[in-house]
Amino acid sequence: MPLVAANWKMNPTNEDDALDLVRGVLSVARGHADRVEVAIFPPFVWLSSVGAVLAESGVKLGAQDTFWEMSGAYTGEVSPAMLKGWCQWVIVGHSERRLYLGETDEMVAKKTAAALSSELGVIMCVGELADHYDAGTSDQVVSAQVKAGLANCSADDSARLVIAYEPVWAIGTGKNADPEHAYKTMRLIRRVVGEMIGAGAARKVRILYGGSVNSKNVQQYVELPLCDGALVGGASLNAEDFAQIVKVTAEVYGHR
C-alpha cells in the first residue's frame, strides 16, 4: 500500500491551528484508507493532542526525529522508547537536519537502527545537493547515503522501512525533479537496498518521492513504477491541498 506522509516541520505555532489542520484531512484520509496509508508528522509539542484526534482513525502518527539512545543525559533529545506505543512512525535524516544541524550519515544510521529496534516504522531521507546534481554525481551521493543509513539494518526490518528520495535542491524551492530523474534514482535506491539487506527484502521497502510535492504535480511521481507514495512538506500545511494529494494517490494506486 502506498504511503502519503505529512511533514509539518516547525509548523503550526499554536495547538488550535494544529488540530484544525489534522481535522481538515481526517475524513478524506479515512475515506481512502483501503488504498493509501496516511501518516501525520507534527512537531513534538503537538504529538499528544494530534494523536488524540487521530486515535482509532487509521491515520498514523509520526515524529519528525528521534535520538539513537533510549535514555540518558542527552538534554533536549527524544528517544525511540519515548515514542513507542503512541507513534507509529519517525523521520530520520531529513536534509534540513543534515544541512542545518550537521547530521551525518553515521548519526542517521544509528537513529534508524534505534527506531527500528523499538518497533517504529522509519522514513529515512536521502538526497543530493544542487552542486551534486549539477556535477552529475547524484547517483554516487544517494547510493552512499543509502548504504551508510542501512549499515545496521537487516532483512527483518524491511516491512517497517521506508526510504524517501528528496533532492535537496527541490525542497521548499518550488522546483521539482524531472520524473525520469526521480525514477532512475528510486531504481538505484531499490538496487542498493537489495545489496544491503537482500533483493527479496528490498521489494518490501517502500520508496517515496519528496521535494515541493503538491496536488498539481504529485500524480507524475506516484505514477512512476517504483514510487510508493510521497513525503509532503509545505503542501501538507494546507488541508485542502494535502487531501487532494491523498485522493490522487489513492486513484493512481486503485488502477494498478
Contact call for residues 37 and 3 (beta carbons, < 8 A): yes
Which residue is catalytic, options 94, 103, 128, 132? 94
Backbone angles phi and psi of 82, in degrees to 5: -75, -30
Contact call for residues 159 and 112 (beta carbons, < 8 A): no
Kind and range of the H or E element at 112? helix 105-117
> What is the end-to-end Cα distance of the chain in Å, rounded?
11
Which residue is catalytic, options 37, 103, 128, 166? 166
Provide the residue range defining the domain that includes 71: 3-254
How far apart are the C-alpha atoms of 159 and 32, rounded to whole Å?
21
- CATH of residue 128's domain is 3.20.20.70
How far apart are the C-alpha atoms of 194 and 199, rounded to whole Å?
4
How far apart are the C-alpha atoms of 116 and 120, rounded to whole Å?
5
Residue 94 bears catalytic tag: yes
How far apart are the C-alpha atoms of 219 and 255, rounded to whole Å?
13
Task: Mark the ranges of the chain whose per-residue pLDDT is less than 50.
Answer: none
What are the grid coordinates assigned to 240, written together?
485542502
Q: What is the pLDDT of residues 32-45, one digit of tens each?
A: 999 999 999 999 99
Q: What is the pLDDT of residue 176?
A: 78
Q: What is the pLDDT of residue 175?
A: 73
Residue 166 bears catalytic tag: yes
Q: What is the pLDDT of residue 212?
A: 87
Question: For the whole model, what pTM was predicted?
Answer: 0.96
How many structural domains comprise the chain?
A: 1
